[in-house]
Amino acid sequence: MTTSEPVFFNPLEEGYLDDPWPHLAEIREKDPVHHLLTGQWGLFRYDDTFRLLRDPSLSVDDDNVDMDALERPLRFEDVDPDDQNRSILNIDPPDHTRLRRLVSKAFTPRTIEALRPMIERMVDEMLDQMEADGNADVVERLAFPLPFDVISEMLGMPDADKDLIRDWSGAIVKTIDPIVSEAEVAAAIEADEKMRRHLADVIEWKTANPGDDLLTRLIEAEDDGDTMTAKELRGQVSLLFIAGHETTVNLIGTGIRELLRHPDQLEIIRKHGMPATGVDELLRWVSPVQITRRVATADIEFRGTVIPRGAFVLASIASSNRDHAFWGSTADILDLSRENAGQHVSFGSGIHYCLGASLAKLEAEVAIESFVKRFGQVDVVGEPKWNGRINLRGLDELIVRTR
Among 251, 268, 296, 367, binds ligand HEM (CB under 6 A): 251
Binding mask 35-64 vs ligand HEM (x if CB under 6 A, - otherwise)?
A: ------------------x-----------
- Smallest gap, in angstroms, from Cβ of residue 244 to ligand HEM? 3
Q: Which stretch binds ligand HEM (CB under 6 A): 12-20, 68-76, 261-269, 354-362?
A: 354-362
**Least gap, CB of 107 to ligand HEM (angstroms):** 7
Q: Is 225 left (phi over 0), alpha (psi -120 to 50) or beta?
A: left
Which amino acid, 263?
P
Q: Hey, how many other C-beta atoms are within 10 angstroms of the C-beta on 185?
A: 18
| Binding status of residue 289 toward ligand HEM by CB under 6 A | yes
What is the 8-class DSSP label of residue 342?
G
Binding residue for ligand HEM, selected from 20, 170, 244, 278, defined by CB under 6 A:
244
Residue 215 in the binding site for ligand HEM (CB under 6 A): no
* Cβ 85 to ligand HEM shortest distance, Å: 12
Q: How far is the CB of 283 from ligand HEM (least distance, A)?
A: 6
Cα of first residue to Cα of last residue in the chain, in angstroms, is 47
For 104, 150, 211, the CA distances from 206, given in Å and listed in that order, are 20, 17, 8
Q: Which residue number, 105 or 272, has a Cβ lying nearer to ligand HEM?
A: 105
Candidate residues 32, 278, 288, 384; the one interacting with ligand HEM per rule CB under 6 A = 288
How far is Cα 342 from Cα 105, in angstroms, rounded to an integer?
23
Q: Which one among 49, 247, 265, 402 touches ligand HEM, defined by CB under 6 A?
A: 247
User: Any contact of residue 88 with ligand HEM (CB under 6 A)?
Assistant: yes
Pairwise CA distance, residues 239 & 86, whole Å: 9
The C-alpha angle with vertex 346 and arms to 318 and 164, in degrees rounded to 5, equals: 95
Which residue's CB is nearer to ligand HEM, number 185 or number 251?
Answer: 251
Alpha helices in 209-352 (DSSP H): 214-223, 230-246, 248-261, 263-272, 278-286, 317-320, 324-327
Does the footprint of ligand HEM cover residue 352 (CB under 6 A)? yes
Find the shortest distance in angstroms from Cβ 20 to ligand HEM: 16
Smallest Cα–Cα separation from 271: which of 331, 330, 337? 337
Selected binder of ligand HEM within 292, 316, 321, 391 (CB under 6 A): 292
| Residue sitting closest to ligand HEM (CB) | 356
Alpha helices for 176-261 (secondary structure H): 182-208, 214-223, 230-246, 248-261
Question: What whole-number distance in Å separates Cα of residue 313 and Cα of residue 52?
Answer: 9
Q: Does 240 bind ligand HEM (CB under 6 A)?
A: yes
* Spatial contact of 151 and 160, defined as CB atoms under 8 Å apart: no
Instruction: Yes or no: say if 173 and 389 are a contact pair by the CB < 8 Å rule.
Output: yes
Only segment of 34-42, 119-127, 218-226, 237-245 that touches ligand HEM (CB under 6 A): 237-245
Instruction: Return the residue of 359, 372, 395, 398 that touches ligand HEM, per CB under 6 A.
Output: 359
Contact between 206 and ligand HEM by CB under 6 A: the answer reads: no
3-state helix, strand, coil in the chain (%, to 5): 55, 10, 35
Return the ∠ at Cα 108 (arms to 170 and 161), rounded to 5°: 30
Interface with ligand HEM by CB under 6 A: which range of 20-28, 38-46, 296-304, 351-359? 351-359
Does position 151 interact with ligand HEM (CB under 6 A)? The reply is yes
Q: Candidates 152, 238, 346, 402: give the one binding ligand HEM (CB under 6 A).
A: 346
Residue type at position 319: S
**Chain positions contacting ligand HEM, by CB under 6 A:** 53, 88-89, 100, 151, 239-240, 243-244, 247-248, 251, 288-289, 292, 346-348, 350, 352, 354-356, 359-360
